[in-house]
Structure 1
Amino acid sequence: MINESVLLESRTLRTSVLERTEALDKVKALSLLPDGLHVTTAMVATFYEVAETAIRQLVQRHRDELAGNGMAVLRGSELRDFESDNLSLSKRRSLTIYSRRTVLNVGMLLRDSEVARQVRTHLLDSEYEVRTRPVDNSIHRLRRDEFDERIDSRITDVLGKTVVPMLNVLIETSGEQRHELISLREDVQQIQQRLVEHDLQLSRLQRGQDVKALTGVIGTIDAMTWKEFEQHVAGLLRRDGCTDVELYGRHGGDRGVDITARTADGRVVAVQCKNFAPFRHVLSGEMQKFLGASKVLRQADVALYVATCAFTRESLAIAALGGVTAVHRGLLEAWSAGVRLQVLR
């Protein structure tokens, strides 16, 4: 099993386990801002039981990595909108906010914190459990090429997430064996590349398309274009039994509604889709516009405002009064992962 200290040294290994934010909850409760998605620098420091200066110094050293994993610095109108919904107004010029992924990322970098050490331990325990879980006995029923693809994927995963990161750490700390270790790492990476190419060839033959890298649910959604996001939501509606699903597109005369459908029991569904940045909020004016489009123009029985971010308090109040279901970032993640929306049942 990998020692938890390896996470401190290998960015590749840290990136490979960033979706396992449940490791935070196994150690202690993480208090979130009212949007249910973010925390401040002070809140991160409180969680890890260190001084705020320790978090700020860590951010300075690893800003690119943390920014790529959910940290954002808000200024100007974005800061005013965010603070009006989450914090008491102040005269600060900027505010750094962190997602749960970023908080986990901090825990994998923070050396002088017992809480961070426990998070790393839980994180690697979970990863080890997944890697050592017995293989399903039904695998012998797979066709030979499917079996090869499974094996290629598992070996590639182990090489990329475990072997290469461990070699990187050893190379950085070794003396006499440095050249031998570098040569070994190059051999491993060549094997990994060949396995990836083989896996892609099999996948193209079987499915007629390239294989996309496996990522977390919300990470996959964040990478979508607006059109892909609308198609994703349409697919969720179909999965949950809706029929007559129709997409209007950004320039298709949607009149404030991106998707219409019917539930299994015949109710009319109207949907607005917004793939905003995670730190943005759906504002009250945007909710009012959709309320009029869905309830007045479309006369929808079910109105869904689906967004990749949070909603302001005012927009949620308007949604509640008008009978609109606000599908925020957290609910979207659960819906995408298989949970059925209550309003569609």
Structure 2
Amino acid sequence: MLDEIVLLESSSLRASVAERDEVLDKVKELALSPDGLHATTKDVAAYFEVSESVIRAVIHDHRSELQSNGYRVLSGEELSCFKQLSGIQSRSRSIGIFSRRAVLNTAMLLRDSIVARQVRTYLLDSERKQSIEPVDNLIHRLKEWIDTRITDALAQHPATLADAARIAEDIIRTTIGTAVVPLLNTAIRNDDDQRARIEGLESEVTRLKRILREREAAGSMGALDVMNARQFEQPIAWLCRRDGCDPVTVTRGHDDTGADIVAYTPDGRRVVVQCTARTSAATITSGDVQQFIDMAKLDHKADIALLVATCPFTRDALLLAARHDMTAVHRGLLEAWNGGVKLQAFRH
């Protein structure tokens, strides 16, 4: 059974219900362009009662998924035609447009929109109702069809009781060979496919539940502040997973020379993370940064190096990090990251 939190976190589960865009109309009317097929970013923002910047942020973070569901950016001649058709006066050189399916996809990504929550509620309710609808009784219908065939055959060819039995047997054998057996073979294949899909979904749900437990453990900055060094690594690992890294490995300090977490972005870049839990009154110095840079770049061949701390960095430490393309996740940035903002280092 689909759950709203899992739906928000899992792209595969969102894809499984992406066709159900009729639920949009159950919440409110979606304004579309004159072609009746597309909505602009402004239209989508109005539907969900959020600012256009919120919708643009969703596009930025989930562009490939939205594109797979019908989001497009128009430019050139195509844009000119769309402006003429829609009566849009904008001088923008490009305009993003959403299909209804892409709008539904957006509803499954917007966490804080009341309208998006209502859409998800209707969607989940619809899925639950569909899952408990009775299945047609194929055997009953097949029996009725065979009875009709036998009756028609006997009406056309009057026969003795023995001949009638033979005719009925021939019809049943033919029906079994040409209809029942292929149906059973198809059912077996479909059952295998369904079983594989269910197993995949169960694995996905198990993974998401683990991530959610880690997220609950992280909680607020206050919760991070009371963690020891080893405990602090777990919520940082979760944040890496949340932003798309997979696999994510917490090294547990086994000869890690300062690498507490090693992860990989979806495009294959190697991420090396050092987690430093200190009081907010402490600072990360340029010496700390230099030591981490040497370890991450030279020892671990990091494409992305993150030094994550619960305290501020000194000015010299920040400048050194910038010169060496290292991401200094100071207390302020950590609070934003923990609050849902994706790190710039993970963006394509």
For the aligned pair, the TM-score class normalised by the smaller chain equals 0.3 to 0.5
Q: Which has the larger radius of gyration?
A: 2
Give the TM-score normalised by the residue count of structure 2.
Answer: 0.47
Work out which structure has the larger RCO, using CA pairs closer than 8 Å and 6 or more positions apart in sequence.
1
Give the TM-score normalised by the residue count of structure 1.
Answer: 0.47
